[in-house]
């Protein structure tokens, strides 16, 4: 009655008498109740109080906070400006009962708290450890605590719901846990996709020890449940390591949690066997987490808390830490096979033709570029009418070592030097090919003359005969 579906405003003479008339055992964190009491006898001023209770059964007193004041002249003046869940976020270290199941892989000499934080051995009960970390974040957010204790393993009963607690319950969907269950079998082809086709295979069946296993089989595989129930008890439930070894051999459908099976697959299966595995989801993969009593006062505030944990990235961080990624099937390395030269010969022929075409195009491009540059140089030489001479030597000395080195320099295998030598040098008379440096530099000073000499000789004559403007022009 005092849940989130109704908003209550109750008037009374004073708070004490008002609370005696109200049954506050139904009060909770989500209660929206405003108690109104007068401030004077004229009843023109009233005080409004926000009333809720954390847990009366645990001995925590009722929380009463001034909400605002109302009078005839000014109307309602609200003083409590915090949101509902913000002002009720402190649970004062309340101990909340939480149940964690499926801890069948915990060593006997390890405490629950150490096992929940043990990352090295996180294969078997990784999802339960993931849920514990989220509850710890929620406890830090709302300042409550949990009491960890473990019961005797012999008392655990699969597929059994105790009737000692309220029978009406609902699922708190908070997009936190991955509760997908798989059936894995070895097959050569993966065309058997549907449940009905899978049921026609008549394969052996076994399962990991999981809570409410028969519920999933009855709901999703109604035709296969008789064959599963007929199995002997020692063959119905099987250790995951042994089950996956039989799956590797073939002919067995093994039911287990993905977090448990993926590490075993990475350890036992090669790439070809991974590609031959068929994974069937018994239940649609969803992110659900907790079961809570219907109309529990903790449901709404927990939903807000899980939303905050999800928005800041804590849920994703813990999920990556405790989950195991599925190893992909690499189909690219499955087709690797030896071939002979006859099978590869068409590709070699195509490669040879492409090399020949590329070489031909490259040679044509080089010839066209060189021919174009030769034409440009020849045009420049023929149109500017520049006279050329060289450093002069006496006739008897014309064939000295220096002249020979100059001629060899012009005749070296450089196409620019060869063109220059053929157009200019060979066409000059013998008397004009060599001149003294002083005569040559004077002719250069007059213009229209190109004279070849050593830089040490040329610079000395330039400083002697040329003005500053002429030096700059040269």
Domain ranges of the chain: 8-87, 385-473
195 neighbors 170 (Cβ within 8 angstroms): no
Confidence bin at 172 (pLDDT 50/70/90): very low
Higher per-residue confidence, 290 vs 434: 434
Highest mean pLDDT out of 284-298, 312-326, 361-375: 312-326
pLDDT at 216 over 50: yes
Is the pTM for the entire model greater than 0.85? no
Q: What are phi and psi of 13, to 5 degrees?
A: -75, -40
Q: How many residues make up the chain in this entry?
A: 474
Mean pLDDT estimate for the chain: 72
Among the ranges 98-107, 172-181, 218-227, 407-416, which has the highest mean pLDDT value? 98-107
pLDDT of residue 379: 45
Q: How far is CA 242 from CA 25, 107, 326, 339, 386, in A?
A: 52, 19, 20, 39, 98
Listed residue (79, 246, 248, 98) closest to 172, CA to CA = 98
Longest Cα–Cα distance of the chain, Å, equals 144
Average pLDDT over residues 169-197: 38
> Which residues, 6 or more positions from 329, have their beta carbon under 8 angstroms from its beta carbon?
271, 274, 275
| CB-based contacts of 293, cutoff 8 Å, min separation 6 | 165, 166, 168, 169
Question: Is the confidence at residue 417, as pLDDT, over 70?
Answer: no
Work out the burial of residue 429: count CB atoms within 10 Å of its CB; fewer than 13 is exposed, 13-18 middle, 19 or more buried: exposed
The confidence score (pLDDT) of residue 201 equals 62
The whole-angstrom separation of Cα 26 and Cα 56 is: 9
pLDDT at position 158 is 47
Q: Which two tokens mark 58?
A: 């645990």
């Amino acid at each position: 009655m005092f849940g989130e579906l109704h908003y209550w405003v109750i008037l009374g003479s004073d708070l004490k008498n008002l609370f005696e008339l109200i049954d506050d055992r139904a009060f909770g964190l989500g209660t929206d109740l405003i108690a109104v009491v007068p401030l004077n006898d004229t009843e023109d001023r009233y005080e409004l109080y926000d009333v809720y209770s954390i847990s009366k059964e645990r001995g925590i007193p009722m929380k009463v906070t001034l909400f605002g004041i109302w009078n005839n002249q000014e109307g309602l003046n609200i003083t409590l400006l915090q949101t509902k869940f913000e002002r009720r976020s402190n649970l004062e270290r309340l101990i909340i009962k939480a149940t964690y199941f499926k801890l069948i892989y915990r060593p006997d000499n390890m405490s629950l708290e150490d096992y929940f934080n043990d990352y090295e051995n996180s294969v078997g009960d990784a999802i339960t450890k993931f849920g514990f970390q989220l509850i710890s974040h929620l406890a830090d957010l709302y300042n409550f605590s949990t009491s960890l204790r473990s019961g005797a393993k012999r008392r655990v009963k699969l597929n059994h719901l105790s009737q000692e607690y309220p029978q009406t319950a609902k699922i708190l969907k908070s997009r936190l846990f991955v509760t997908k269950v798989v059936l894995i079998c070895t097959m050569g082809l993966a065309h058997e996709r549907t449940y009905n086709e899978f049921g026609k295979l008549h394969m052996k069946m076994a399962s990991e020890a999981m809570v409410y296993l028969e519920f999933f089989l009855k709901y999703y595989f109604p035709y296969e449940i008789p064959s599963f129930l007929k199995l002997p008890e020692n063959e119905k439930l099987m250790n995951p390591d042994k089950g996956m070894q039989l799956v590797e051999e073939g002919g067995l459908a093994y039911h287990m949690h993905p977090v448990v099976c993926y590490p075993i697959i990475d350890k036992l299966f090669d790439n070809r066997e991974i590609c031959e595995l068929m994974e069937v989801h018994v239940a649609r993969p969803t992110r659900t987490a907790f079961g809570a009593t219907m109309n529990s006062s903790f449901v709404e505030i927990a939903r807000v808390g899980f939303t905050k944990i999800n928005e800041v990235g804590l849920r994703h961080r813990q999920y990556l830490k405790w989950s195991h990624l599925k190893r992909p099937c690499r189909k690219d390395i499955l087709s690797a096979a030896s071939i002979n030269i006859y099978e590869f010969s068409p590709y070699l022929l195509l490669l040879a033709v492409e090399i020949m075409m590329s070489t031909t195009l490259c040679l044509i491009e080089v010839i066209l570029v060189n021919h174009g540059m030769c034409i440009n140089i020849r045009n420049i030489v023929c149109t500017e009418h520049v006279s050329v001479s060289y450093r002069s030597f006496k006739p008897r000395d014309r064939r000295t070592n220096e002249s020979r080195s100059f001629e060899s320099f012009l005749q070296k295998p450089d196409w620019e030097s060869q063109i220059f030598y053929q157009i200019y040098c060979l066409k000059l008379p013998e008397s004009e090919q060599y001149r003294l440096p002083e005569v040559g530099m004077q002719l250069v000073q007059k213009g229209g003359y190109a004279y070849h000499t050593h830089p040490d000789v040329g610079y000395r004559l330039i400083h002697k005969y040329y003005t500053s403007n002429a030096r700059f022009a040269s």
